[in-house]
């Protein structure tokens, strides 16, 4: 909402500096987004007088003029207009001035003669649509005066952000009432007197409302004998300040009343409306299937039955509350004007305007709610102005169909309860005075005040809503700060929250940075990755997505992490180590709410360290990701756990595994498939994992176990097994641990050997590999003897060879 400070001061006394007024409005919930100085756009445009006008020697359609601008020598200006003569006074844009259209005036040669400025038309100054010639000013215009100051264009425009619950502030009267309440001043509502004459409006016009739910009120008024022409300067100034462009006196009046009172209006050329038995019957109805309407913008619109139209005997003539029809618009030939002032259903207008891509000042107001009680008043105001500016006669009476009259809401404010609720100590009289300044009728004294809420405030539904009105006008910053009452409760984290904190701490200790991504997802990317869903599971689709790329909820954190890796790489960061603890979603038929899981995802790209002069950095791979998982499980005391080889569409074959804790698959780990890296524009390998946080929390040890520092030496023995290539090392490790108890203290894989494919001399049988382990034996109460260790060791070797089909490598 654009508010002209000059116009506002006619409705309420405002003597504060603009900055202070903006602060006061901000504090009461009406945010000032921008302050615009309108005269500043015409800086350098001066009132000048044409001294001489001669034919340009090198151009038939140009003239060469000398113009006095009240400072020094007259300016020499080349001009193409013809509607002026020596002695006329015109606006002159001097060198350096920038016009509203963005044109900067420069000293230039035109057909060989130097021009030191430009004489301007109304269009070039943003003062109207006329571009046919210069804007010739009255003879008494003072030469040398700024044109903005002369034309009264110096104004301050406040651009307000009006919240959807305050439709009353979408008008100058509404804003004036609000400012008056904030500053403690009475606002002055505009006054007028309407004179009528001639035959009553009912002789020529009838109105039928077929759907009162969509149109609770419709009024029609008739103005005969109107002369269409340009609007006076004061009207042009005001509607331009409000953000509209001038068209003609009738249309400009409807826009003026829209901005002044907040009631959208529409003017029809009565002669273009079809009559039935000599009467124009206006019908407010739903559009019929297949109907079309060419709107004022020249576009033919295909209508649907959920749209509301204004129709005559021939069909639709306007889209109710959105835009009029081209065939019935007011034009230069219009003589009689039918004036519409109505109230339409908010949801219907919103759906129509968005379905057709037509967002107008009218539709914006109807979407938020227009006061039905305002329709007749606004119609009277517009008719008075049209008659005054267009010389017409207003027909007596008004056709007013009001099947669903609005009734004001009555609420009781208990002042004592309000003070207890807000922490204030306001008196009953002060509370009543504040409410009255907001247009709310208040009766009664003492603690209980009976308040009649005006129909222009549909947001005030409960007693507490009136509490809010009182405190925002009185000043929320004046409410004393107090601590909320407590009952000796000590806050803290529960066990699950503490584990969540520990998970994040371990990730950061491992060198990963936290990433917070969007939960929205493109279903095409889910299909590209090949994420696995259950037999009956599907993606969760949003009802009203922001875009097709964010139309579903994610099923994995991997896509967001890959986006982040790609973004960092494009900005020169090659070593990217990220983790995210967030929710993923899926659903199935019959579920009201989607299934949610909290997961821990991570992505590692690049290397751990920057490149050194003595060595190249090692690219991160599967084993780096495994190391992070191992650090996490060690910190949380999760055991036993293992990695089982697996195949997942989004991971590289042979470098993918399931993470298994106590026999339950809790996640996956691996290197991302090259096709996905290419699709996400990621350079180099990326190792990633994703774990179910609930499963991790359930498996986490409650008490951390500590081992005593060994007092006796260990016996270390190395052994190498030759096994089939498809036997994982984890299986051999599990067998060694199972049969080495109780003396086996530790076992570690330290070498894997496979014959090269092009080896001339093979060291191992075909299809096998060598796994070398270091075994450490120790007893807690004694030093082990060699024969004691050998016996256990031989038993381990025999059992392992038997269980996994291994042989010892010599």
State the DSSP string of 539-578: --B-SS-SSGGGSEE-S-SHHHHHHHHHHHHHTT---EEE
* pLDDT of res. 485: 66
Q: Is residue 16 part of a domain?
A: yes
Model confidence at 572, in pLDDT bands (50, 70, 90)? very high
Q: Is residue 483 part of a domain?
A: no
Q: Is residue 705 part of a domain?
A: no
Torsion of CA 709, 713, 717, 718, to 10 degrees: 50
Please check whether residues 167 and 65 belong to one and the same domain: no
Please check whether residues 654 and 550 belong to one and the same domain: yes
CA pair distance 278, 291, nearest whole angstrom = 25
Q: What is the CATH number of the domain that holds 46?
A: 2.40.50.140
Q: Is residue 190 part of a domain?
A: no
* pLDDT of res. 111: 86
Model confidence at 703, in pLDDT bands (50, 70, 90)? low
Contact, 369 vs 458, CB < 8 A? yes
Please check whether residues 290 and 342 belong to one and the same domain: yes
Q: Is residue 706 part of a domain?
A: no
Strand, coil or helix: 645: strand
Please check whether residues 581 and 471 belong to one and the same domain: no
Roughly how many angstroms between the first and final C-alpha of the chain, as a whole number? 89
Q: If you average pLDDT over residues 184-197, what whole number do you get?
A: 93
* pLDDT of res. 277: 87
User: Residue 340: which of 215, 501, 178, 198 has the closest Cα?
Assistant: 215
Residue where a domain stops, chosen among 401, 428, 457: 401
Please check whether residues 617 and 730 belong to one and the same domain: no
Q: If you average pLDDT over residues 310-318, what whole number do you get?
A: 94
Number of domains in the chain: 6
Reading the block at residue 596, the tokens are 């949610």
Residue where a domain stops, chosen among 401, 435, 462: 401
Looking at per-residue pLDDT, the higher value among 760 and 159 belongs to 159
* pLDDT of res. 253: 96
* pLDDT of res. 789: 92
User: Residue 656: which of 619, 679, 626 has the closest Cα?
Assistant: 626
357-374 confidence digits (pLDDT tens): 888 899 999 999 999 999
pLDDT at 770 over 70: yes
Reading the block at residue 350, the tokens are 């919103």
pLDDT at 626 over 90: yes
* pLDDT of res. 440: 95
Q: Is residue 650 part of a domain?
A: yes
**List of residues 6+ apart from 28 with CB closer than 8 A:** 178, 182, 472, 473
Please check whether residues 523 and 658 belong to one and the same domain: yes
262-276 confidence digits (pLDDT tens): 999 999 999 999 998
Bridge partners of 113, per DSSP, are 110
Please check whether residues 442 and 336 belong to one and the same domain: no
Buried b vs exposed e over 602-613: b needs ≥16 C-beta within 10 Å? bbbbbbeeeeee
* pLDDT of res. 149: 80
Please check whether residues 528 and 649 belong to one and the same domain: yes
Domain carrying residue 426: 409-475
Please check whether residues 369 and 453 belong to one and the same domain: no
Please report the DSSP string for 666-717 in residue order: EEEEEEEPHHHHHHTT--S-EEEEEEEHHHHHHHS-SS---PPPP-S--EEE
Reading the block at residue 425, the tokens are 């100590």
Q: What is the CATH number of the domain that holds 433?
A: 3.30.56.10
Q: What is the CATH number of the domain that holds 510?
A: 3.30.930.10
Please check whether residues 179 and 262 belong to one and the same domain: no
pLDDT at 489 over 70: no
Please check whether residues 619 and 634 belong to one and the same domain: yes
Reading the block at residue 733, the tokens are 């490790």
Model confidence at 547, in pLDDT bands (50, 70, 90)? confident
Please check whether residues 427 and 516 belong to one and the same domain: no
Q: Is the N-terminal amide bond of 696 cis, ω within 30° of 0?
A: no
Contact, 668 vs 659, CB < 8 A? yes
Contact, 48 vs 120, CB < 8 A? no
510-519 confidence digits (pLDDT tens): 999 999 999 9
* pLDDT of res. 620: 94
Q: What is the CATH number of the domain that holds 795?
A: 3.30.70.380
Contacts of residues 134-139 at CB distance under 8 Å and 24 or more positions apart, as own/partner, are 134/79, 134/81, 134/83, 134/84, 134/88, 134/90, 134/91, 135/90, 135/91, 136/83, 136/84, 136/88, 136/89, 136/90, 137/47, 137/88, 137/89, 137/90, 137/91, 138/89, 139/89
Residue where a domain stops, chosen among 670, 699, 728: 699
**List of residues 6+ apart from 694 with CB closer than 8 A:** 597, 598
Q: Is residue 710 part of a domain?
A: no
Q: If you average pLDDT over residues 794-810, what whole number do you get?
A: 91
At 375, give phi and psi (nearest 5°): -60, -50
* pLDDT of res. 632: 96
* pLDDT of res. 151: 79
672-698 confidence digits (pLDDT tens): 999 999 999 999 999 999 999 999 999
* pLDDT of res. 545: 87
Detail the DSSP E strand segments found in 429-575. Answer: 441-443, 448-453, 513-514, 520-521, 537-538, 552-553
Average pLDDT, the chain: 91
Q: If you average pLDDT over residues 387-416, what whole number do you get?
A: 94
Identify the weakest region by mean pLDDT among 33-42, 313-322, 479-488, 520-529: 479-488
CA pair distance 672, 686, nearest whole angstrom = 6
Model confidence at 702, in pLDDT bands (50, 70, 90)? low
Buried b vs exposed e over 270-301: b needs ≥16 C-beta within 10 Å? bebbeeeeeebbbbbbbbeeebebebbeeeeb
Q: If you average pLDDT over residues 543-559, what whole number do you get?
A: 91
Contact, 605 vs 686, CB < 8 A? yes
62-104 confidence digits (pLDDT tens): 999 999 999 889 999 999 999 999 999 999 999 988 888 788 8
Q: If you average pLDDT over residues 716-727, what whole number do you get?
A: 93
CA pair distance 194, 171, nearest whole angstrom = 22
Identify the weakest region by mean pLDDT among 12-16, 35-39, 340-344, 444-448: 35-39
156-187 confidence digits (pLDDT tens): 899 999 988 999 999 999 999 999 999 999 88
* Distance set, CA 130 to CA 82, 134, 135, 194, 253 (Å): 14, 9, 9, 32, 19
* pLDDT of res. 655: 92
Q: Is residue 76 part of a domain?
A: yes
């Amino acid at each position: 909402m654009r508010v002209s400070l000059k116009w506002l001061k006619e409705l309420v006394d405002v003597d504060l500096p603009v900055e202070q007024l903006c602060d006061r409005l901000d504090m009461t919930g009406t945010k000032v987004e921008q302050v615009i100085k309108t005269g500043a756009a015409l800086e350098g445009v001066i009132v000048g007088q044409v001294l001489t006008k001669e034919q340009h020697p090198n151009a038939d359609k140009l003239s060469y003029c000398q113009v006095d601008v009240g400072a020094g020598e007259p300016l020499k200006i080349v001009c193409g207009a013809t509607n002026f003569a020596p002695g006329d006074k015109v606006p002159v844009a001097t060198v350096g001035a920038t016009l509203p259209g963005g044109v900067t005036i420069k000293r230039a040669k035109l057909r060989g003669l130097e021009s030191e400025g430009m004489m301007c038309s109304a269009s070039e100054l943003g003062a109207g649509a006329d571009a046919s010639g210069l804007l010739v000013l009255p003879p008494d215009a003072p030469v040398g005066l700024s044109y903005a100051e002369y034309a009264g264009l110096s104004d301050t425009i406040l651009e307000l952000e009006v919240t959807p619950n305050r439709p009353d502030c979408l008008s100058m009267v509404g804003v004036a009432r609000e400012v008056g309440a904030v500053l403690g001043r009475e606002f002055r509502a505009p006054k007028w007197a309407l004179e009528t004459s001639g035959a009553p409006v009912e002789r020529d016009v009838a109105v039928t409302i077929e759907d009162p739910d969509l149109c609770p009120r419709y009024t029609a008024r008739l103005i005969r004998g109107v002369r269409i022409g340009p609007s006076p300067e004061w009207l042009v100034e005001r509607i331009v300040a409000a953000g509209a462009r001038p068209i003609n006196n009738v249309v400009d009046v409807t826009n003026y009343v829209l901005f002044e009172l907040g009631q959208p209006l529409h003017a029809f050329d009565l002669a273009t409306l079809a009559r039935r038995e000599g009467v124009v019957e206006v019908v407010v109805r739903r559009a019929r299937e297949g109907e079309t309407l060419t709107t004022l913008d020249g576009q033919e619109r295909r209508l649907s039955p959920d749209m509301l139209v204004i129709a005559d005997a021939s069909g639709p003539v306007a889209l109710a509350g959105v835009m009029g029809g081209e065939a019935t618009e007011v034009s230069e030939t219009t003589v009689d004007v039918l004036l519409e002032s109505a109230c339409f259903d908010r949801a219907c207008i919103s759906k129509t305007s968005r379905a057709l891509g037509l967002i107008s000042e009218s539709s914006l107001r109807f979407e938020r709610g227009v006061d039905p009680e305002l329709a007749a008043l606004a119609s009277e105001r517009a008719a008075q102005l049209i008659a005054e500016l267009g010389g017409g006669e207003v027909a007596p009476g008004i056709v007013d169909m009001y099947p669903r009259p609005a009734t004001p809401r009555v609420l009781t404010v208990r002042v004592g309860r309000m003070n207890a609720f807000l922490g204030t100590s306001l008196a009953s009289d002060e509370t009543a005075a504040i409410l009255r300044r907001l247009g709310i009728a208040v009766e009664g004294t003492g603690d209980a005040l009976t308040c009649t809420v005006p129909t222009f405030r549909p947001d005030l539904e409960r007693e507490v809503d009136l509490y809010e009105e009182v405190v925002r006008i009185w000043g929320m910053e004046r409410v004393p700060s107090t601590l909320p009452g407590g009952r000796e409760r000590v806050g803290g984290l529960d066990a699950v929250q503490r584990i969540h904190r520990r998970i994040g701490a371990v990730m950061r200790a491992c060198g990963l940075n936290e990433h917070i991504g969007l939960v929205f997802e493109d279903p095409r990317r889910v299909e590209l990755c090949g994420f696995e869903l259950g037999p009956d599971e599907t993606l969760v689709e949003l009802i009203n997505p922001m875009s097709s790329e964010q139309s579903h909820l994610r099923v994995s954190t991997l896509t967001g992490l890959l986006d982040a890796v790609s973004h960092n790489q494009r900005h020169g960061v090659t070593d990217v180590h990220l983790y995210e603890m967030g929710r993923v979603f899926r659903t199935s038929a019959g579920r009201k709410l989607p299934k949610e899981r909290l997961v821990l995802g991570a992505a590692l790209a690049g290397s751990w360290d920057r490149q050194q002069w003595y060595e190249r950095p090692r690219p991160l791979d599967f084993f780096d990701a495994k190391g992070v998982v191992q650090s996490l499980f060690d910190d949380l005391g999760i055991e036993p756990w293992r990695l089982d080889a697996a195949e997942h569409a989004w991971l590289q074959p042979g470098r993918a595994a399931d993470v298994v804790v106590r026999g339950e698959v809790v996640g996956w780990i691996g290197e991302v498939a090259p096709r996905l890296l290419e699709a996400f524009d990621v350079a180099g390998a990326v190792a990633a994992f994703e774990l179910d946080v609930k499963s991790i929390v359930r498996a986490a040890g409650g008490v951390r176990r500590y081992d005593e520092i060994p007092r006796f030496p260990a016996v270390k023995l190395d052994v190498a097994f030759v096994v089939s290539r498809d036997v994982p090392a984890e299986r051999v490790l599990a067998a060694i641990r199972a049969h080495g108890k109780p003396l086996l203290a530790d076992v570690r894989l330290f070498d894997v050997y496979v014959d090269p494919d092009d080896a001339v001399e093979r060291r191992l049988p075909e299809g096998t590999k060598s796994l070398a382990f270091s075994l450490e034996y120790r007893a807690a109460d004694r030093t082990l003897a060699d024969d004691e260790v050998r016996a256990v060791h031989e038993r381990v070797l025999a059992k392992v060879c038997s269980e996994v089909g291994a042989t010892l490598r010599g």
